């Protein structure tokens, strides 16, 4: 992909709000093409300053958390805390029994439950929480 391709991509998403991924991409590319920043990584804020979370790390965390929210929706419980406890148990089972068999797969096997699919996706993006408290904190602070 060369500068002309990037300019076309920036133009394609130019009308998107800057807070959307597409809008941020368009803005970053246009800033780089205009010479406002030294690198495309800097323009797209991919590098992260020292002590700041890198964009890719943040994206992976957000994707994992979204999948964890989907998994939590599959769990039954009379309260949010009870659902977190149920998910804690499901995660332990998933990591000890299911993940060792599925980790080389790019997608979960067809016919997998929505819960297992969500846990598979979450695991692809990062480590899974091991306690109900961690689950609760992650989902409360998303």
- Which pLDDT value is given to residue 48? 62
pTM assigned to the model = 0.67
In this predicted model, what pLDDT tens digit does every residue of 7-39 receive, in sequence order?
A: 998 899 999 888 888 888 899 899 989 999 888
Q: Which of these, 34, 14, 35, lies nearest to 25 by C-alpha position?
A: 14
Q: Do 35 and 105 meet the contact criterion of CB atoms below 8 Å apart?
A: no
Section 107-127 average pLDDT: 97
DSSP 125: H
In this predicted model, what pLDDT tens digit does every residue of 45-93 receive, in sequence order?
A: 776 666 777 777 888 899 999 999 999 999 999 999 999 999 999 999 9
pLDDT at 142 over 70: no
pLDDT at 107 over 80: yes
- Which pLDDT value is given to residue 49? 64
- Which pLDDT value is given to residue 53? 72
- Which pLDDT value is given to residue 17? 87
Per domain, the residue ranges of the chain are 3-46, 57-140
Residue with tokens 């030294």: 38
Return the percent helix, strand and coil in the chain, to nearest 5: 65, 0, 35
H helix intervals, 13-79? 21-33, 40-43, 55-73
Cα 117 from chain centroid (whole Å): 15
């Amino acid at each position: 992909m060369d500068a002309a391709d990037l300019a076309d991509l920036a133009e394609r998403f130019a009308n998107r709000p800057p807070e959307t991924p597409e809008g941020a991409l368009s803005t970053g590319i246009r800033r780089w093409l205009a010479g406002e920043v030294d690198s495309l990584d800097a323009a797209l804020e991919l590098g992260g300053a020292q002590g700041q979370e890198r964009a890719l790390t943040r994206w992976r965390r957000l994707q994992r958390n979204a999948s964890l929210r989907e998994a939590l929706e599959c769990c039954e419980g009379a309260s949010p805390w009870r659902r977190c406890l149920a998910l804690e148990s499901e995660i332990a089972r998933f990591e000890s029994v299911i993940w060792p068999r599925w980790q080389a797969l790019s997608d979960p096997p067809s016919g997998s439950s929505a819960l297992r699919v969500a846990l598979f996706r979450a695991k692809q993006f990062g480590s899974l929480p091991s306690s109900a408290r961690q689950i609760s904190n992650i989902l409360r602070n998303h």
